[in-house]
Amino acid sequence: MNNLLLREKIADSKRIPSLPRQAQQLLQAFNNQDLDYGDLARIISRQPTIAVRLVALANSAWAAPAVPVNSLERACINLGFKVVRSVSIGLALISPFNTWACPAFDIRRFWMSSKLVADASALLASAMPDQPQQAFLQVLYTGGLMHNLGLICLADLMPEETNQALSNLASQPQLTVNQALENTLQTNYCEVGGLFAEIWGLPDDLTAIIKFHRSTDYPENHAELIALISDAAMLVSTLFSDQPELPITLATKKLGIKDTDHQEILENLQPLFLQTNELAKALF
C-alpha cells in the first residue's frame, strides 16, 4: 500500500495515539551513557504505573529476591539495567494502545519478541570484527525494542482485520506475520510502524529500523543497524517454533559475522527465550 493510502486508511480510524510523554522521557534517559541506578530510579519514579510494575517484578517469583525489595532503586539494581530498560520502554510504548478487540494479538508474545530482538541484535553486534561505539549500541537496542511497533498499532486501529490476519497464521503456518497482514490488510506492520514513527517524530535511525528491518531495500546510511535488527528478528522468529533452525538468509554476513557466530548466538538465545517467557508471564 502506498504511503498516502496508508495514511488515509489509518486516519479513517479516527484515533491515532500520540507518543506517550513517558516514552519520550525514557527513550531520552536511556540514551545517557552515564546513567546510574539512582538517576534511573528518579526518572522512572515520574511514571508511577511503571515504577509499581518494576517493584512488583523485583519481588516476584521470577526475580526471587533474598529479601523483600521495598524501593525503586533497589528494584532497578536487582533487575539489572537491560531488564529495566526493556520493561520500562515496553510498558510506555504499549500504554496508549487498546488491543481488546483483537483477541488474536498476544501481548505476551509481542513483548517477548521486542525484548529478544533487542538482546539478539546486541549479541550479533558483539560478533562484528570492528566493535561498534556505545552510542550505536544504544540505538540498536532501542530499535530492537521498537521494531514491531506497527503490530500493536494495527491491533488497536484495525482490530477486526488484524485479528483475521493473525488467526490465519494458525491454519497457514508457512506464512510470516507480514504476509498474513498483507493478504488481509494490504499493508504490514513495518509500513504501519514506520508511518507512526514518522508521525511521532522519532529519530531517523529508529524510524529506518522499524520501517525497513524486513526489507531487502533499505537506506545505506542506516544499513548496519537495519541488518543487525533484520537478522535478530529472523533468529528470534525461529525460537517460537518447536525446532529452532538457523535462518538461511543472513544480512549480517556483510558485516563480517560468520555462520558459526550465528549458530552460537541462536544457541545462546534458547535459554534466554525461556527466561524471557517467564519474565513475560510475571509482567502480563
The owner of cell 535488527 is: 229
261 vs 245, higher pLDDT: 261
Per-residue confidence (pLDDT) for residue 188, from 0 to 100: 93
CATH topology of domain 3-12+98-283: Hypothetical protein af1432 (1.10.3210)
Instruction: Identify the band that residue 26 occupies on the pLDDT scale cut at 50, 70 and 90.
Output: confident
pTM of the model: 0.91
Per the prediction, the chain carries an average pLDDT of 89
Coil vs helix vs strand at 259: helix
Coil vs helix vs strand at 19: coil
Per-residue confidence (pLDDT) for residue 21, from 0 to 100: 77
Domain ranges of the chain: 3-12+98-283, 20-80+89-95
What pLDDT digit, counting tens, does each position of 195-217 carry? 899 888 999 999 999 999 998 88
Nearest CA to 50 among 74, 28, 77, 26? 26
Instruction: Identify the band that residue 3 occupies on the pLDDT scale cut at 50, 70 and 90.
Output: low
201, 232 contact by CB (below 8 A): no
Percent of the chain with pLDDT over 70: 94
The most confident of the ranges 110-114, 133-137, 198-202 is 110-114
Q: How would you class 59 by CB atoms within 10 Å of its CB: exposed for 0-12, middle for 13-18, buried for 19 or more?
A: middle
218 sits in the region (left: phi over 0; alpha: psi -120 to 50; else beta) called beta
CA distance 267 to 244: 9
The owner of cell 561498534 is: 132
